[in-house]
Amino acid sequence: MKKLKFIGNPLLQSREKINMSSDKKWLTLKTTEDNEEFVVEESVAIMSNVIKNMVEDGCASSVIPVPRVKGNAMGKIIEFCKKHTEESDEKVLKEFDAEFLNLGPDALYDLMVSANFLEIKVLLDSVTTKVADMIKGKSSEEIRNILKIENDLSAEEIEESRRENCWTRQE
Amino acid sequence: MGSKKEKQLPEDVLFSDIFTKLSAKSVLALKPVKKSWYSSIKNPEFVDRFLANSFNRPDGTSLLLTTHDQASGQQYFISSTTDERLDSRPVCLLSVLETGAELSVSQNVNGMFLVHTRPHETFYRDRVDDVYVFNPSTREYLSLPPLPNRASKTWPGSNMNMISYFFGFDVGSKDYKVVGVCCDVGAPGLRVEGEVELGIFGLAGGLKAWRVVNVDVPVSFNPCTPGICVNGAIHWLVKDKRVILAFDLGLERFRVIKLGDGIGIDTLLGDADGDGYGNDGEEEEEDDDDREDEFEEETSVWPCLIQVGSYLAVLEYDDVELRMWVLKDYQNEQWVMESMDYPYDWNLMHALPCGSSHTSEFFLCLNHNTGSSIPKIVCCDMERSTYRRINFVEQFEKIDSSTVSVSLVGCYPENIMPLPKI
């Protein structure tokens, strides 16, 4: 059973109304991993360089398949792109981004991997800045927890590394 | 569908997009997190990317300050961030070098500085110069082997020579090179001219010794003037000839760049109108005042060469305004002039200018050589004709400010490049 998710003007409920508005171009993006479909304005979708290239090359048919990105991540991405296409006030965007990126590490990583794959520079920049801020000034152990990395150093190696750059942990 | 293994961030995104946004200190603190990161952080590709992004980060550039304590014989290096978001900036002590004589610090090349014995100290036969490459971002320094003293042409048989050191980056071979210019102490006016002996030390390539080459100098110059490296060449302003002398680090040859029309018309000694006399536009009176002025002009740091962004610029001033001539088109020697008025209470005769990593911006230390212990530094933005005062938070607590004075060296981008072991 296909689930159709419509991201757009909430007042427009039916498909006919979409097709009647001729001044805006719409695309359907389908996440191939979980078969979710999203109808988006072309101007929003082309914030992704990958989709932009497909549209310009003329190989974007009625439905664009998007591999590797899960449905819930896609929804979030479209929400971000829509806001950044509509809003031009830097301050408003900054506040939106802060609120938008208030996610757990798993969701953040999904977003980052997807933004990287879809080549959405603005989103990638925002997410990576957020992650960088999360690890700034933290201890090695805390960084391992945040980035979900296994500790593969021996106690001596850790001690030696600590001695080499001990000033990086001061102040 | 749930997998036991926790989701991990792809390492390429970590290094290319996240770690490049951290400060040098934070990146170095990443070494003990994961085994492979220890070497990934030293990977030249990552190092280059990090340096490139330093110019974009608000906390990516810092000021380097230095002071020498005569009593203890120590040279201190202090840094302060230029982060515009902060009202007052913390300073931190980076490194202390044990050294006898006061050391000179040359301008930075990609965030690294050359620290060396002052060239015009007392000359003695067996003098061994201290030469270090210092990276303030990693707080590492590399001590170079001494360049053997050369025989003097004026007094053959004696190696009474003075070596001036300069630092640059050869874009072609991607190598940092230290150049030692051997100056014959017996030469009149301490000028270097004709054929000169140069010692060249490249940091890469694993060589542990200096290479000595003989090169022709097209115009005589004073080796005590600071050199600025851009576009793979070291540049000196030769005031009395109204040219810039450039040493190409790849070709290992000198060439001359002419100063554009109008540069230094009132402020340089040179003979712009070709009448055989300096002081163009003035009366040709050879009285004591003129000679004093000439001496002051000779020893003054103004006009000077600075680096702004990736360009070379000449900075000068007159009663009304500061002028910056930027060599925007290096190949075709095209200069662009920008100017701004400056406050009447700035005594620019005592100011020391140095460049910055942003185009059309430069730093001025307003109380250089006036004996004040704390430098008064402003950052001038030529494009907007504004300036901002750099306020420091700590008053250099670790140094006894009553006996030593701190001077500004320059503005540098953060570079995590590890220095080779020699």
Local confidence band at A16 (pLDDT 50, 70, 90 cut-offs): very low
Question: Which chain B residues are closer than 8 Å to A161 by Cβ?
Answer: 31-32, 38
Q: CB distance A147–B139 less than 8 Å?
A: no
pLDDT at residue B173 in the model: 92
ipTM topping 0.85 = no
In 3D space, the residue among B388, B239, B245 whose CA is nearest the CA of residue B303 turns out to be: B239
Q: What would the two tokens of residue A87 be?
A: 């809003």
Confidence of residue B9 (pLDDT cuts 50, 70, 90): confident
Predicted confidence (pLDDT) at residue A21 exceeds the cutoff of 70: no
CB pairs under 8 A between A and B: 77
> Hey, is A6 helix, strand or coil?
strand
Q: Do A161 and B38 touch (CB under 8 A)?
A: yes
Determine which of A149, A158, A169 to mutate to test the interface with B (most B C-beta atoms within 10 Å).
A149
- Give B89-112 pLDDT, tens digit per residue: 677 778 788 877 778 888 899 999
Q: Give per-residue pLDDT as tens, B154-194.
A: 666 666 677 889 999 999 999 999 999 988 777 777 788 88
Given an 8 Å threshold on Cβ–Cβ distance, is A161 in contact with B92? no
Q: Return d(Cα B190, Cα B197) in angstroms, integer.
A: 15
**pLDDT of B124:** 58
The third-level CATH classification (topology) of the domain covering B55-413 is Neuraminidase (2.120.10)
Is the CB of A163 inside 8 Å of chain B's CB atoms?
no
Give me the residue spans of the domains in chain B. Answer: 10-54, 55-413
Nearest Cβ partner of B17 from A106, A128, A136?
A128
Chain B CA closest to residue A124: B17
Average pLDDT of B45-66?
Answer: 91
Q: Residue B405's pLDDT is what?
A: 73
* pLDDT for the residue B283: 43
pLDDT given at position B280: 47
Q: State whether the Cα torsion B148-B153-B159-B162 is positive or negative.
A: negative
pLDDT of residue B421: 81
* A-chain residue closest to B16, CA distance: A128
Contact residues on chain A for B1, CB-CB shorter than 8 A: none
* pLDDT tier at B22, thresholds 50, 70, 90: very high
The whole-number average pLDDT for the span B383-404 is: 71
Task: Give Cβ neighbours of residue B139 (< 8 Å, ≥ 6 apart).
Answer: A167, B94, B95
How many Å apart are CA A47 and CA A27, to the nearest integer? 13
* A148 in reach of chain B (CB within 8 A): yes
Q: Exposure pattern of A8-46 as b/e (b: 16+ CB <10 Å)?
A: beeeeeeeeeeeeeeeeebbbbbbeeeebbbbbbeebbb
Average the pLDDT over each of A78-82, B2-6, B62-66, B121-125 and give the range with the smallest value.
Answer: B2-6
A159 half-sphere exposure, CB direction, 13 A CA radius: 3
Among A125, A157, A168, beta carbon nearest to B25? A168
**Option in B21, B23, B30 nearest A143 (CB):** B30
pLDDT value for B1 = 38
Q: How much is the mean pLDDT over chain B?
A: 82
CB contact under 8 A, A158 and B32: yes
Show the tokens assigned to B145.
């082997």
Residue pLDDT, tens place only, A121-153? 999 999 999 999 999 888 888 888 888 888 888
How far away is chain B from the Cα of A120, in angstroms, using its nearest Cα? 13
Chain B's closest residue to A116, CA to CA, is B13
Tell me the backbone φ, ψ of residue B385, rounded to 5 degrees.
55, 40
Across the interface, of B22, B30, B34, the residue whose CB is closest to A152 is B34
